[in-house]
């Protein structure tokens, strides 16, 4: 149980276009989802925290108008990279947290989405 999926797994787009990445919790409800960015051979950097039904909380230095996050339901959060540029090319990973129970605070990670902006 506790599987998180991401779609697409890989996307290549032209500079200036927008790209939407979906993150779904498949067999549990996630009131909180997280979006990370991972550069090659580096650690995960938290971009934002999204709570179902409310606005996302962005980390310092992350442009909220560029990285739009929507957490419309308890199983789906989306990250839209608007007007993408080559420097946005990265590996984007989402995770979802189980709210309670024995596995509380445990985060389950999606497989990631490789974004390449030409």
Return residues touching another protein (CB under 8 A). Answer: 4, 32, 34, 42-44, 46, 49, 93, 95, 97, 105-112
For residue 86, how many C-alpha atoms fall within 13 Å in the half-sphere facing its CB? Answer: 1
Hey, what are 31's tokens? 């009131």
Residue number, 9 or 116, with CB nearest to another protein: 9
Q: Is 85 left (phi over 0), alpha (psi -120 to 50) or beta?
A: beta
Coil vs helix vs strand at 9? coil
Report, in Å, the least distance between residue 32 CB and another protein. 8
Report, in Å, the least distance between residue 111 CB and another protein. 5
Hey, what are 70's tokens? 């929507």
Q: Omega of the bond prior to 116 within 30 degrees of 0, cis? A: no
Residue number, 9 or 15, with CB nearest to another protein: 9
């Amino acid at each position: 149980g506790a599987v998180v999926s991401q779609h697409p797994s890989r996307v290549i787009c032209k500079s200036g276009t927008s790209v939407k990445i979906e993150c779904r919790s498949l067999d549990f409800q996630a009131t909180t989802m997280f979006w990370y960015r991972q550069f090659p051979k580096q650690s995960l950097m938290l971009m934002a925290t999204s709570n179902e039904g409310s606005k996302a909380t962005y980390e310092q230095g992350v442009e909220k108008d560029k990285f739009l996050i929507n957490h419309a339901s308890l199983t789906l959060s989306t990250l839209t990279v608007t007007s993408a540029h080559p420097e946005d090319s990265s590996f984007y990973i989402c995770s979802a947290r189980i709210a309670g129970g024995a596995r509380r605070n445990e985060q389950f990670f999606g497989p990631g989405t490789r974004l390449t902006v030409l």
